[in-house]
Amino acid sequence: MMSGDRQHHIIFMPSGLRGHVPDGTLLMDAARQLGVELESICSGQGTCHKCRVHIESGEFPKHGITSDETHLSPPTVREQQSFDKAVNATFRLACQARIEGDLLVSVPETSLAHKQIIRKSANTQRPLTIKPAVRPLFVTVEPAKLDVQPGDWERLQAALAQQHQLSGLRINLHALRKLQRTLRAGDWQTTIILREDRDILDVRPGYQDTVYGVAVDVGTTTVVAHLCDLRTGAVLATEAAMNPQVAHGEDVMSRISYVMMQPNGLDTLHRAIIDTLNRLIASAAESAGVAAEHIYDMVVVGNTTMTHLFLGISPLEIGRAPFALAARDALDVPAHDLKLKLNPAASVYVLPALGGHIGADTLAVLLAESPHTGEDISLVVDVGTNAEVVIGNRHWMVAASSPTGPAFEGAQISHGMRAASGAIEKVRIDPQTREPRFRIIGSESWSNVSNGLPSVRPVGICGSGIIDVVAELFLAGILLPDGRFNPDLQSDRLLWQDDVAAYVLADAEQTAHGQAIVITQKDVRSIQLAKGALYAGIKLMMARAGVDHVDRIVLAGAFGSHIDTERAMILGMIHDCDLRQVYAVGNAAGDGARIALLNVDKRQEARQIVDHVAYVELATDAGFQEAFVGALPLPHSTDAFPHLKDKLPAAASSPTTNITDRRARARLRNPARKRPES
């Protein structure tokens, strides 16, 4: 049917790519020549129906053509079969239809080879091209015949070379074991699952296009798994659970101690996280109606201790100088070596770390927020037990881990707790009455003394609540700039003992356990030390980079998405910045893991980021201690908050000692406390 004499004018919409092709050209070939990559799992066999396009009919004077179905060869048998399944018969298969006249072709998004999804980033919508490591390929294999000695595997390779121009492929034992059964079950038609055009992970009978992956963020406290469709990029299910290692230590250092002290410590922690991931994945697969054996890829991020424990590598060296990682680079390991219950040939990609104390989770945040691609100077802060800080733009980046301690997570705070149900997460203090209001996780409304008891009763206070309360205590004049409780102040919320005060945030009768929730002087000091360390680290890094401002602040992590950024800045926790340019991006590490799962180029980009970033060791910086001490007062600077300036109290001259307020002390008792209703 091919005759080179006549040329037809073809326009593909919505891209507008156009050109002339000879009469008889396959629509698929014309698209490829003009730069429109159509999806084709079956490589033109008319089986997968992925290359459906719509032919616009009519006069298109703007384009100077007339387009019509009659300008194509008649539908083939394969196309007619596809029409039976398709909703709209005006679609044609590009791999079947030959061009016999001018055409205006509409290509639906779903027929494009490299689909895009739009994902939300801090201050923008970013497109992500779907380019997974693993893809399905449909292939028809020559049947076994007497006198044909090559085995099924060799004939499959020959078919792949002929139909998909692929050679040098490898097959694993698991796929090889099912190969003969599969080929015969599919009547010599099979879908192979191919990884990076090299490894055949699986063989499945007939045409099948379901391939899935999991993106995992292993946090010290929380583990999150996103089950994704590797063809469409859609998130099918997200499951989260407490990291079971919490039972053996709240923070990274206590996990490392556990490994050091317990005979099977490493194995216990490793098995715990693997078991939890298997449970999360099974549950995600079930809720999405997906077979776990069709999950072929997994990307994992976490801090360096978490990724080491996940891989079963001892984190001991991370816990002691010189803090050497076993591997900083990205790692690619077989899922079954880790006893993960995915497809037996699935592999696990762990994103690289930046250094001993800045892990793949931070790199994933960078991948999601792309500070390394723009001109604006970004400050990315991921607050956890330590705060990981990255500053820079496309020309330079510096990263450091700031030894904040666990105060921001609610640890080492008198009534501190994790951000779980019952935790006070937001606090406001009336500057006149010094009376508090608070909001509790699990409740939509604010507590109000005038309203009586809150519907959900608090059990403690989490990180964002602590930031709030210390900032509010300062704004209400209860705390002095040096962090001491104002000794000149009279308030029935203040409780004094031996010169040391505490603020009663919730009366004993308000709480779930019948004990008052108080903020002590020691709690305030802990927050001062933590914010001082973070601020000093950022200041040093900016000095190293030779900049005196940042254009944008990105707060990552669950903590970052809950804190009140204005209060955090009042505390002097993060550097001054236009508040409109401060973004809380939630689980950006999980987003980064998902990005690396859906697009292999992003894995390469992650490794390039490692080379782009200069790691700064704050612990050994001579200037750190001075900067730290200078960053302890509340607030460090108010330049960014002209509207707050008049709200800020003047420093008190001297403390008044040995004041005991009976009303305040009474708040600690709850004589009428009844059992909570069951």
User: Token match 């009586």: residue?
Assistant: 452
Instruction: Identify which of residues 171 and 489 has a Cβ nearer to a second copy in the complex.
Output: 171
Query: Which residues are near a second copy by CB under 8 A?
Result: 144-154, 171-174, 176-177, 179-181, 311-314, 316-317, 321-329, 331, 333-334, 337-338, 353-356, 615, 617, 620
Between CA 550 and CA 544 the distance in angstroms is: 14
Instruction: Identify which of residues 179 and 550 has a Cβ nearer to a second copy in the complex.
Output: 179
Beta strand 613-615 pairing with 397-402: parallel
Between CA 89 and CA 105 the distance in angstroms is: 15
DSSP-assigned letters across all residues of 398-451:
EEEEE---GGGGTTTSTTB--S-TTEEEEEEE-TTT--EEEEETT-SSBP-GGG
- Report yes or no: 521 and 485 within 8 Å, Cβ to Cβ: yes
With helix as H, strand as E and coil as C, how does 370-408 read?
Answer: CCCCCCCCEEEEEECCCEEEEEECCCCEEEEEECCCHHH
Instruction: Identify which of residues 620 and 658 has a Cβ nearer to a second copy in the complex.
Output: 620
CB atoms within 10 A of CB 617: 14
Would you give the end-to-end CA distance of the chain in angstroms? Answer: 81
Cα within 13 Å of Cα(56), Cβ side: 18
Instruction: Identify which of residues 163 and 172 has a Cβ nearer to a second copy in the complex.
Output: 172
CB of 179 to a second copy, least distance (A): 6
CB of 618 to a second copy, least distance (A): 11
CA angle (283 as vertex; 587, 186 as ends), nearest 5: 115
Q: Is the CA virtual torsion 571, 356, 306, 294 positive or negative?
A: positive
Instruction: Identify which of residues 354 and 519 has a Cβ nearer to a second copy in the complex.
Output: 354
CB of 385 to a second copy, least distance (A): 20
Q: What are phi and psi of 417, to 5 degrees?
A: -155, 170
Instruction: Identify which of residues 51 and 171 has a Cβ nearer to a second copy in the complex.
Output: 171
Instruction: Identify which of residues 175 and 508 has a Cβ nearer to a second copy in the complex.
Output: 175
Instruction: Identify which of residues 352 and 635 has a Cβ nearer to a second copy in the complex.
Output: 352
Q: What are phi and psi of 478, to 5 degrees?
A: -80, -35
CB of 384 to a second copy, least distance (A): 19
- Report yes or no: 164 and 43 within 8 Å, Cβ to Cβ: yes
Compute the CA torsion angle 249, 254, 257, 263 (nearest 10 deg).
10
Between CA 26 and CA 167 the distance in angstroms is: 25
Beta strand 125-129 pairing with 65-67: unpaired
Between CA 582 and CA 453 the distance in angstroms is: 34
CB of 195 to a second copy, least distance (A): 15
CB of 555 to a second copy, least distance (A): 24
Q: Which helix (H) or strand (E) holds 21?
A: strand 17-23
Q: What are phi and psi of 668, to 5 degrees?
A: -80, -20
Contacts of 342 (CB under 8 A, 6+ apart): 214, 281, 292, 293, 295, 296, 298, 335
- Report yes or no: 349 and 300 within 8 Å, Cβ to Cβ: yes
CB of 316 to a second copy, least distance (A): 8
CB of 157 to a second copy, least distance (A): 8
Nearest one of 254, 222, 121, 123 to 462, comparing CA atoms? 222
CB atoms within 10 A of CB 324: 11
CB of 150 to a second copy, least distance (A): 5
Instruction: Identify which of residues 242 and 333 has a Cβ nearer to a second copy in the complex.
Output: 333
- Collapsed DSSP state (helix, strand, coil) of residue 615: strand
CB of 609 to a second copy, least distance (A): 13
CB of 343 to a second copy, least distance (A): 14
Instruction: Identify which of residues 625 and 657 has a Cβ nearer to a second copy in the complex.
Output: 625
Instruction: Identify which of residues 185 and 411 has a Cβ nearer to a second copy in the complex.
Output: 185
Instruction: Identify which of residues 185 and 512 has a Cβ nearer to a second copy in the complex.
Output: 185
CB of 166 to a second copy, least distance (A): 16
- 20 by Cβ neighbours in 10 Å (0-12 / 13-18 / 19+) ranks as middle
CB of 180 to a second copy, least distance (A): 5
The tokens of 14 are what? 């919505």
CB of 73 to a second copy, least distance (A): 38
Instruction: Identify which of residues 354 and 478 has a Cβ nearer to a second copy in the complex.
Output: 354
Instruction: Identify which of residues 170 and 522 has a Cβ nearer to a second copy in the complex.
Output: 170
Q: Helices 360-369 and 588-598 sit at what angle, rounded to 10 degrees?
A: 80
Instruction: Identify which of residues 133 and 508 has a Cβ nearer to a second copy in the complex.
Output: 133
CB of 161 to a second copy, least distance (A): 14
